[in-house]
Structure 1
């Protein structure tokens, strides 16, 4: 069974423009909170945490250099694919955080946002 792949920026990164300070991506961290709250459901996904710095080679390999913004949910061939999903070489993906959270609920049983 193919899994959806979720790309997130690894938390606790350093921005070269502000050395000595650790950061988290606020958008990725919303998704991280959901994954941490429901680890059994998170195991249904292939979660890949990548460095903050670009180029993000793993993301480029999946959806092309123009789609490196994270978080990003790459959709497997299973289940419904939203009409507004992006596409790169036949690979469908979603990059809007709220849309990703809604798809995690719809496709993987995570609680819905209220």
Structure 2
């Protein structure tokens, strides 16, 4: 069975002569991986460089879909009701809150506490 693929950005990049920087949404997603280390075995987790183009994502989702974090869903029916996008035969989620909800529903991870 194919695994869901999760892309996050490596921390410590520079942009517009500023840095080192990190992607806040990727940091939240990485934090969830820290809390639930078993996800690294159950998902195909790929940490990639910030610089565009991002060939690892482009090869799967095309030039216009390079945002991170990004979860490519192996079984689209498991993402019902979540904001998904498609490219060719692939379904993916680019919103970190939706990714976290997807992981909670399908992998039993914890959800964030809200006020």
- TM-score, length of structure 2 as denominator length: 0.89
The secondary structure found in structure 2 opposite 1:65 is coil
Runs of 4+ in 1 over 6 A off after TM superposition: none
Could you say which residue in structure 2 is the equivalent of 1:76?
A: 74
For the 8 Å contact 1:6–1:46, the answer to whether it is kept is yes
How big is each residue's C-alpha offset from its partner over 1:48-92, in whole Å with a ceiling of 9 and x where there is no partner?
A: 111101000111111111111111000003752325411101100
Contact 1:2 1:78 in 2 (8 A): no
What is the CA RMSD across the aligned residues, in angstroms? 1.5
2:51 corresponding residue in structure 1: 53
Q: Deviations over 1:1-54 (max 9, x none)?
A: 211000111112222x225x2111001000011101211233211011111010
Question: How many residue pairs end up in the alignment?
Answer: 112
- Are the equivalent residues in 1 in contact too, given 2:79–2:102 (CA < 8 A)? no
- The answer to whether the Cα contact below 8 Å between 2:76 and 2:91 also exists between their aligned partners in 1 is no
Unmatched 5+ residue regions in structure 2? none
- One of 64, 84, 88 as aligned partner of 1:66: 64
The alignment partner of 1:92 has SS state of strand
Aligned to 1:32: 30
TM-score normalised by L of structure 1: 0.89
1:79·1:107 contact (CA, 8 Å) conserved in 2?
A: no
Give the conservation status (yes or no) of the 8 Å contact 1:102–1:113.
no
